Structure 1
Amino acid sequence: MGRHSRKGPGATRRETGAAAGAGTERGTGRRGRDSATPPSRDGHSPFRDAPQVRGGHPEQHEPGGGWGTGPQPHHGGRQDPAGPGGQEIFRAGQAAMARQQAAQREAGRRTAGPQTGDATLIPGPRREFLEAFETTPSRPVPPVPHEAGPRTPGGPDEPAGAPVDPGAREPKGSRGRTFTGIAAAAVTTVLAVVVAGQVAQSGGAVDAPQSGGVDRQDSEDASRSVERAAPQVQRQEAAPLTYAQKMATAFPLAPDLKASGTFEAVPGLAKAPGKGHKYRYRIDVEQGLGLDSGLFAEAVQKTLNDDRSWAHNGAMTFERISSGEPDFVITLASPGTTGVWCAKSGLDTTEDNVSCDSAATDRVMINAYRWAQGASTFGPDKLLAYRQMLINHEVGHRLGHDHVSCSTPGALAPVMQQQTKTLDLDGVKCRPNPWVHPGS
């Protein structure tokens, strides 16, 4: 049981009269002590009146333990009288206490997070705070280098000789929860600082508007990082020009232009709208003019079948075709080409750059320059009327009508008068007129 036990009162001591208080114990080799003797430095004192117990209690002595400062040597170099059995118990107590301290340090290390070198452990968030944010990380957390392997005894955070519990493992997911808790605490701290700054700047009003500089920065960041939709400008598409507007618009064309001399028929069919004798005609346009052939074809059909024209009172009607045998061909050609075809019928159109009915051929020639630019007798504001007169006048020649001069000053000029050249003949000045029957 160890040598601190006693086997009974007076079993190992002999007292001899008065010498018992100051003498020595015989047979034990120990110095006798009476009740007045103070306790020794190792904390043992003979309680004379205390009940004697069997066995005794092993005292554990290590630095920082709960039993004092540990065993102290006796005067004269004598060692602790615990004996070999007591030393084994002492070492076992030391190992248990070392394991307890290692577990405490491990718990503090887990709470404080990873360490670097000999840096002092910083207490981390409380366990209740971590459990509130406990989540399983979405991806594995890379291992910390000094936590990857088993801890080495005698490291910077534990004394040499301290045993390491090989069965102790860090709980799964605790590192992620620790990092999550620390991050949450940091975010909370930052938010508190920001709110405090806003309160200080606005004189206590938390909801005070932010400064213009912050707004400008946010706007610039947004303009750089966010792809914004371009402002949609409502564009009003220009309405297509009406027939009358197109007919009143001048087109650019040189007065001495001579184009390719090749003609192309305008496709399509425009039925004769009226009664009477039907004239079938085709429209050819010289290639390379750059003019609207569709507009020209539309103008011819509308002008000839107008009741103010040759179709007055159903006397005749006109139908446009693009194939087959026509009665005549109305041709839009450049000034140079018009002169060539008019010369075939003995007519000179180059002097005044005019149009003609080439009677020796099947073509009624319309000078493209006059069609595009008009004439000074009508002026720029009456281009529509001039174009109608040009069609009626040249087709009138095809129908057998000759030139007629104005006889009444101030009256409307006859449609068969050469109004392109002049409205003043022999001192009689008339007004421009596009129609055969203008009063209808």
Structure 2
Amino acid sequence: MQHEPSTPSTEQTAQDAAPVTTLPTTRHTGCPFDPPAELAQLREEQPLRRMDYPDGHQGWLATGHSVVRAILADPRFSSRYELIHVPFPGWPTEVPPAPTGDMSGIDAPEHTRYRRLLMGKFTVRRMRELTARVEEITTEHLDAMERQGGPVDLVTAFAQPVPALMICELLGVPTADRDVFQRHTATVTDQSTSMEDQVAAYTAIQEIIHGLVLAKRAEPTDDLLSDLAQDGGLSDEELAGVGTFLLGAGLDTTANMLALGTFALLSNPDQLAALRNDPGLADQAVEELMRYLTIADPGIRAALEDVEVDGHLIRAGETVTLSLQAANRDPQRFPAPDTLDVHRKATGQLSFGHGAHQCLGQQLARVEMRVAFPALLTRFPTLRLAVAPEDVPLRTRSNIYGVHQLPVTWDQEAGR
């Protein structure tokens, strides 16, 4: 339903006269899993409020669950990169349009065309059919960990290779190219890396994928890229772009969820024990870990027209930064939100987004986590950190939060 533009009330105008000066990003609490404390205070005071952007733009910051969810679902807010103002200091004031095939930075009808084409490839049923292969890959890497013995870096030994192998197999990426893709993906998501280096890394991935597309057109195999190359109606450039987008989305996010999720469970031994003792909790535990950690943050949207949200008038052209981590810790939606509770039914968590741009590969990510977490905890009942918690290096300069390494060990005789 379209809302007629309205004039903000005097009270609203007064509230909006003191905007947030910067997006809170520093975690002060000492707990590596908690969002910046300022976000909770801002959410309590006003879940949608004015915010100053580094380039001088005055837009908005959304922190409440209902507000964030409403904006994500509203087609009057655009995901187009070139329309948004970036909330991170030091980034370019002008963002180029999304590369061909990057579904996160486009709107309908282009987005709709891509999504309709791919949705049938990522159904719940099809992803569940991959469970056996996820179990095989998981077991292979747990076997390798057991043979090596602790301590090991869980990131490189387990968290990265399991989702990397799955998305590469799904797309049909040759084994020889997989390490290169992981390295370039890390560059693209690292906020400390220059925009030039990020663009170069993205371009390098696209070039390799483009060569793969040509190979799939000539000699199709049993994989997603071959399917799309034969009957998807996409140009070579579009197919290479879509493949690059899916590869990047499928590698880094799930890898960081597996590593940071394990760190969170090791830091909450009662929750770890509950999941280990009842693998049937895996579905709930995955949703709760997604809510509790919210590794991909924030979302950014630009208003295409005047829109009234939560009693505030957002003008056409204004950018709204959506703090998903604040929304997922909103006590109005999730009681005791700062507590990790694997028994919680975290229905409505927004870590996969919401609306038209909700994560296309969310079912694959769920399958991987539902298999990997219980398998890891069952195989190594005495799994523990090999360093002090405060010595775990955190990815504080990436828009995908996580850990750089997670050194773990276990009692060798308790491997199996």
**Bigger helix share:** 2
TM-score bucket of the superposed structures, by smaller chain:
under 0.3
Which protein is bigger by CA-based radius of gyration? 1
TM-score by length of 1: 0.16
TM-score by length of 2: 0.17
